Amino acid sequence: MAQDNLSAILVKPNEIKLEQRPIPEPGPNQVLLQMEVVGICGSDVHYWLEGRCGPFILEKPMVMGHEASGTVVKCGSEVTSLEPGDRVAIEPGVPCRRCEFCKTGRYNICPDILFCATPPVDGNLARYFVTDEDFCFKLPCNMSFEDGTLMEPLAVAVHACKLGKVTIGSVCLVLGAGPIGLCTVAAFRAYGARKILVTDLLDYRLELAKKMGANFTLNTSGMDEDAVTEKVLSLLKEEPHVSVECAGSEQCARLCMKVTRAGGVMILLGMGGLEMTMPFGAALVKEITSIGSFRYNNDYPEAIEMVRSGRADVRGLVTHHFTLEETQKAYETHRDKIGNPIKIMIHCNPNWKPE
Ligand SMILES: [Zn+2]
Ligand SMILES: [Zn+2]
């Protein structure tokens, strides 16, 4: 066990600092984790560059990171399901467990959830982290720490599948092929989708979308809304039952509303601007349901089972590796898109060696 708790702290926009923090003590129902792999998420980069993401604003220094896996090193006195040495995927938000939303099984919209690296809550991009026992999920032996880290974006996609009622035979449109869009493709495929079309502005992402199970891809750079609408329908040859906005873009959200089949579902998954102008008239006469999908609730076990059983393969998302000490460089690589990044992994265990 290393004796330091080096932590990557966002001091203010554009300033990440590595700092020693005390190693935390687990409470009775908590575990102390040696952090293994923490992924960089688009939201982390928004906080770094702009000090905010959607409605959340950085007001004081905060430890970064929320997509993570770790090894249990110490258990609180009442922990029964985990023991030191267990490898786990970490669900990064612990809700209050008492409010109306928690009690009705929708803890992802709990107003008092403590969610890693959502201001003012510290994240887990550090050597050590303490969290509640029941938000740690044991990794099957055929899954790596990197797989465990990827369960966070995959859980986001599983949650969207459930809200969109994706099933065998569904025709799906995914707008945006970043990590969330790509995980959505993998999850839709695992749920039995018949056709999946993915759009993006970058060819390397669309290549990966194909590998993850997309039937069709479309690079929409330079195309106007009408041209994209027409092309989407000509590729799919029918309207999608489910369309998902994963780019945080008004144009993509408008497209979902225009092309979704009557009676279908459009899902807003990408965190974008707070205001959008939408063609609601089109939604009304087709009885389209528009749903916001936020994080996940009770979706980690399903995400893990998808990968354990081989029904979803998300390993292709990982493009870069850095150590905790190289956090600044890892973020710059994401910002400057050096080497076509999709998912950048930061290794927190000082014993990690690149392959
Ligand atoms: Zn994330
Ligand atoms: Zn609650």
Mean pLDDT score, 69-87: 98
Ligand that lies nearest to the alpha carbon of residue 116, given by its number in the listed order: 1
The mean pLDDT value for 163-177 works out to 97
The helix-helix angle for 42-50 and 327-335 (nearest 10°) equals 100
Burial zone of 161 (CB within 10 Å; 0-12 exposed, 13-18 middle, 19+ buried): buried
Instruction: Give the mean model confidence (pLDDT) for residues 59-86.
Output: 98
CA of 4 to the centre of ligand 2 (A): 33
Q: Which ligand is nearest to the CA of 107?
A: 2
Look at residue 3 and tell me whether its pLDDT is greater than 90: no
Q: Which ligand is nearest to the CA of 105?
A: 2
Q: Are 135 and 90 in contact (CB under 8 A)?
A: yes
| Cα dihedral across residues 334, 307, 294, 124: positive or negative | negative
Q: Say which residue the tokens 């109306």 belong to.
A: 100
Q: How many Å apart are CA 278 and CA 276, to the nearest integer?
A: 6
Interval between CA 153 and ligand 1 midpoint (Å): 6
Q: How large is the average pLDDT for residues 109-132?
A: 97
pLDDT of residue 180: 96
d(CA 254, CA 338) in angstroms, rounded, equals 31
Closest ligand to the CA of 46: 1
State the Cα–Cα distance between residues 246 and 183, nearest whole angstrom: 10
Dump pLDDT digits (tens) for 15-24. Answer: 999 999 999 9
Alpha helical stretches, state H, 63-212: 100-103, 145-163, 179-190, 203-211
Q: Are 288 and 265 in contact (CB under 8 A)?
A: yes
Average pLDDT for the chain: 96
CA distance 267 to 292: 6
CB 124 within 8 A of CB 92: yes
What Rg, from alpha-carbon coordinates, does the chain have? Answer: 20
Report the percentage of the chain scoring pLDDT > 90.
93
Collapsing DSSP states into helix, strand and coil, what is residue 62? Answer: strand
Region 1-24: what's the mean pLDDT? 91
Cross-strand partners of 7 = 19, 126
Q: How many other CB atoms are found less than 10 A from the CB of residue 299?
A: 22
Q: Which domains does the chain have, with CATH numbers?
A: 6-138+314-347 (3.90.180.10), 157-292 (3.40.50.720)
Q: Which of 24-33, 62-71, 214-223, 266-275 has the lowest mean pLDDT?
A: 266-275
Residue 212 identity (one-letter amino acid): M
User: Would you say residue 89 has pLDDT above 60?
Assistant: yes
pLDDT per residue as tens digits for the range 35-44: 999 999 989 9
Stated pTM of the model: 0.96
CB 209 within 8 A of CB 177: yes
What is the torsion angle, in degrees rounded to the nearest 10, for the CA atoms of residue 100, residue 101, residue 104 and residue 108? -160
Residue 117 CA to ligand 1 center (angstroms) comes to 10
CB atoms within 10 A of CB 323: 16
Residues in contact with 235: Cβ distance below 8 Å, sequence separation at least 6, in sequence order: 197, 216, 218
For residue 28, report the distance from its CA to the centre of ligand 2, in Å.
20
* pLDDT > 60? residue 2: no
Q: What is the mean pLDDT of residues 159-175?
A: 97
> Residues lining ligand 2 (ion), CB within 5 A?
95-96, 99, 102, 110
Nearest ligand, CA 157: 1
pLDDT at 273: 75
Please report which residue ranges of 238-299 form alpha helices under DSSP H. Answer: 250-259, 280-285
